[in-house]
A and B are shown apart, each in its own frame.
Chain A
Amino acid sequence: MIKKHIKSLNLFSIISIISAILIMMALINMFSNILSPPSDTWYHIKNYLLAEYLKNTFILIFFTGLLSGFLGFMSAYIVTFYEFKGRKLFSWILILPLALPSYIAAFIYSDMFSYTGIFSRTLRSIGINKYIDIMSISGAIVIFSFTLYPYVYMLVKSSLSKNSSLFIENAKLLKAKPLRIFTKIVLPLTRPALFGGVLLVLLETLNDYGVVRYFGVRVFSYAIFDSWFRLGDLTSAVRLSAIVLIIVFILVNLEKILRGRKKYTANVKTKPIIKKQVNRYFEILIIAFLSIIILVGFGIPVTQMIFNFVRTYQVIFELEMIYIIINTVTISLFATVLTVFISVMIINYSRLSNSKLTRAVLRITSIGYAIPGAVIAVSVLIFFVDVDNLLYPIYKLIDGDSKKLVLTTSLAMLTFAYVIRFLTISFNSVESIYDKVGIKYTEAAYTLKSSKLRTLFKIDIPLIKEGLIAAFIIVFIDVIKELPLTLILRPTNYDTIATRVYTYANDEMIQEASGPALIIILICTLMIYYVTHRKRGGKNVR
């Protein structure tokens, strides 16, 4: 028995298990709170607030899921199956809204719709004295859907172009009707990608605090902060987090339950899809549809921000800003590579051996995305202080005057927290592509006595490259936009661009916040551009 375990020790399992143990230890002090008896504050929350939180949360995730799923799926479908003017351009700029953090979109849009904003001014100038209030739950749904749908778009598009061409052609040969092809082939094949994308959108939505606080929409993330900070009760905050965890657990497994035992792995040779030429009217319709999506999710707010920036440009033209940008890019790159690396290790570990242990490792390491940033931050902080206490004798040995809190005051803590927080995202993209590739090539390589590492580099990584790149962009963009963890866990005098944006936005200075926010958007845009325009074997990926 032991022998068997030792034999199964390899790079994958060691890194996976160590990661799982570290994450579990970091989060355990938070969960131990659940066991303590409910406080008076909890009864207060239950009596006065819980029903509203539940109702709002369900409305928010249901409609955001629906709308973002629709936008993401439709745009991916159009770009994959039709040929029209500007298709190539659309196929990458449809990802751009991801570069715009939802909370910034919320600030910019509510400013534009406020009394002093361009929309209300225009309306007034043509004599309509009406005021559109977007600071509501429907406003939040629209903001989340239009800034987050690219998660769905990217996953569905890669899934469509990867595996449907042969099936569709065969179906066409067999004279299947378009609707039937759609419902019987396209939908089932892209279902994991569609659900995976929507899931990412919903997890982001559940975690957001900026938009819902500003709009006054009382959902769970709002509630967690509120009970922790305003009511001063961490225990209740953790209880509420536990409810969120249950919701997330249901969401994560919903697709698996719906899918049942069916597996749609298509191991067919990829072949470019023959795109359908569309007639003039349909072309205009398509272009209008896609343009609206991009304008709402990116063009309009970014234009407004550029106007704001022109008024306040001096904010970012200072030497300090260069350091801040270097800081931000360095830590984001580092944390992203680490996150993607660990996720590949864990996924390899889990797909090669399916034991209780692997399932536990998977579950533990993917919990982080469900817990609000600030709660993770506090857990990680407590954990690092403990670790530093433990390591203090060693520090003293190296340097007699060493301070006690060495790791806690370093960037290691923040990086660790980023990894916990974003592992799930990386998992999702890497896993969905592994699902598609299947395991037989890997197994064949093992049968041929190729080592695990060699197989990973020679077989797996080339096969899953697209998934890795997708994981890399998504995680990088998430890290660069991240706020609560960065605010709490960063070392002294350490600023990132996002913390700069927060500084101004929190002081209700949207104009001044626009400059640094544009830098985030620019960096993310460049990333997206690079990745989508990378030459692959002499031909463009798009």
Chain B
Amino acid sequence: MKKILLFLSVFTTMVILTGCTLGTSEGDNTVTVYSERHYDTDQLLFDQFEQETGIKVNVVKASADELINKLETEGEDTSADLLIISDAGRLHLAKEKDLLQSISSETLEDNIPSNYQDADNQWFGLTKRARVLVYHPDRVSVDELSTYESLLDSKWANRIVVRSGSNIYNQSLIASFIAINGEEETRTFINGLVNNFSRDPEGNDRDQAKAVMAGIADIAIMNTYYMGKMANSSDPYEVEVANKLKVFFPNQETTGTHINISAAGVTKHSENKENAIKLIEFLSSIEAQSTFANANYEYPVNPNVEPADLLKSWGDFIAQDINLTQLGVYSSQAAIIMDEEGWK
């Protein structure tokens, strides 16, 4: 009996202790960030912000959908002040669920072009990534490439790889097509593209590049970001792949290359709104934007900051001319027609 009593009392104290210490960790001068981005670069910037302003940054990292769910459930009691997500479509979803608030900041208006901002100033883009064609120069000549739509040509049969349709980057790509070309054309596009796949979608973006290198396919549709990461990988063989393959920005003469952004929005029930705004402002500053560009191979949104040399070596490009809110508007429609047209 003694044993079990001891056991139980140790348990209870432990529960209470862990409960109390963690429950009271909220100080005054803090900002709590729910972030989908889990990069060392981001942590570096948060630390820098802490040093410059004395505001402590708390971070919770999980996938976009999990964070949105969490915010929704916590309601007005949430401790989150800022939501950072690497997909404009998901931010739009958060806005539709009434989880964000409009803010006004001259600094942000100066630093961030208007098409990378929400129309009601509920979220602000921080970095950009382009979804491009990556090809093997021995098997594809650059003259053969032009648009995403040209990939439907029968000469590309069994020569294209791309990751799963359930991936958010692909979903947003298709959402942008619906916004620009309408549903019917987009359906034709998906259907034709799937016919030219060289295998059922599998793996992540880097795996698509490796598949092209291995000769499974000749063209991969993937993000510039991962090409940057591979070129600077700790694995020398990945660097080799990145150096051999070439990047092509499609639709330069027509509708522009698809881009997506990482963006931040102040939560509706934020208790540290001022701090949260300061943090976004900091992240959009020239200093922070250069860090994003150089350490994480993303395109800066701040027009006064140059992309990294590697990214510049791929050349300039014209992006799709749509407000990125559209990616959210057409997101679920995109998901449904991708299933119906058989993009696994």
Give the CA-CA distance A195 to B205 in the complex, in Å: 39
Tell me whether A508 and B336 are in contact (CB under 8 A): no
Tell me whether B70 and A405 are in contact (CB under 8 A): no
Give the CA-CA distance A110 to B204 in the complex, in Å: 11
Which of B16-24, B249-257, B299-307 faces chain A?
Answer: B16-24
- Residue A191 at the chain B interface, CB threshold 8 Å: no
Give the residues in chain A near B207, CB-CB below 8 Å. Answer: 110, 114, 135
Tell me whether A216 and B344 are in contact (CB under 8 A): yes
Give the CA-CA distance A115 to B65 in the complex, in Å: 32
Give the CA-CA distance A473 to B207 in the complex, in Å: 35
Give the residues in chain B near A469, CB-CB below 8 Å. Answer: none
Give the residues in chain A near B110, CB-CB below 8 Å. Answer: none
Tell me whether B235 and A411 are in contact (CB under 8 A): no
Given A231-B336, A487-B62, A488-B62, A410-B22 contact (CB < 8 Å): yes
Given A405-B74, A410-B18, A457-B4, A493-B79 contact (CB < 8 Å): no
Chain A residue with Cβ nearest B216: A131
Tell me whether B214 and A216 are in contact (CB under 8 A): no
Identify A218's interface contact among B4, B11, B22, B344, CB under 8 A.
B344
Tell me whether B234 and A511 are in contact (CB under 8 A): yes
Give the CA-CA distance A229 to B18 in the complex, in Å: 32
A48, A110, A508: most-surrounded residue (chain B CB, <10 A): A508
Chain A residue with Cβ nearest B26: A403
Chain A residue with Cβ nearest B30: A492
Tell me whether A44 and B339 are in contact (CB under 8 A): yes
Interfacial residues of chain B within 199-221, with CB under 8 A of chain A in the complex: 199-207, 210-211, 213-216
Identify A116's interface contact among B79, B199, B235, B336, CB under 8 A.
B235
Min CB gap A150→B, angstroms: 27
Which of B112-120, B183-191, B236-244, B317-325 faces chain A?
Answer: B236-244
Chain B residue with Cβ nearest A231: B335
A 114-125 binary contact with B (CB < 8 Å = 1; else 0): 111100110000
Which of A84-92, A174-182, A287-295, A499-507 faces chain B?
Answer: A499-507
Chain B residue with Cβ nearest A502: B38
Given A403-B77, A405-B77, A115-B3 contact (CB < 8 Å): no
Given A131-B214, A487-B66, A512-B234, A410-B14 contact (CB < 8 Å): no
- Residue B61 at the chain A interface, CB threshold 8 Å: yes
Interfacial residues of chain A within 113-143, with CB under 8 A of chain B in the complex: 114-117, 120-121, 129, 131, 133, 135-136
Which range holds the interface residue count of chain A? Answer: 35 or more
- Residue A407 at the chain B interface, CB threshold 8 Å: yes
Give the residues in chain A near B60, CB-CB below 8 Å. Answer: 490-493
Give the residues in chain B near A214, CB-CB below 8 Å. Answer: 202-204
- Residue B157 at the chain A interface, CB threshold 8 Å: no
A 308-350 binary contact with B (CB < 8 Å = 1; else 0): 1001100000000000000000000010011001000000000
Give the residues in chain B near A117, CB-CB below 8 Å. Answer: 237
Chain B residue with Cβ nearest A218: B344
Min CB gap A66→B, angstroms: 24
Identify A135's interface contact among B19, B38, B203, B213, CB under 8 A.
B203
Give the residues in chain B near A147, CB-CB below 8 Å. Answer: none
Tell me whether B59 and A493 are in contact (CB under 8 A): yes
A 482-519 binary contact with B (CB < 8 Å = 1; else 0): 00000110111110000100010011110110000000
Tell me whether A226 and B166 are in contact (CB under 8 A): yes
Q: Can you list 12 contacts pairing A with B, beta carbon distance less than 8 Å?
A: A115-B237, A116-B213, A129-B215, A131-B214, A135-B203, A135-B207, A308-B235, A407-B19, A409-B26, A488-B62, A508-B204, A511-B234
Question: What residues of chain A have their CB less than 8 Å away from a CB belonging to chain B?
Answer: 11, 44, 48-49, 110, 114-117, 120-121, 129, 131, 133, 135-136, 213-216, 218, 222, 226, 228-232, 308, 311-312, 334, 337-338, 341, 374, 377-378, 381-382, 385, 388, 403-412, 415, 451, 453-454, 457, 487-488, 490-494, 499, 503, 506-509, 511-512
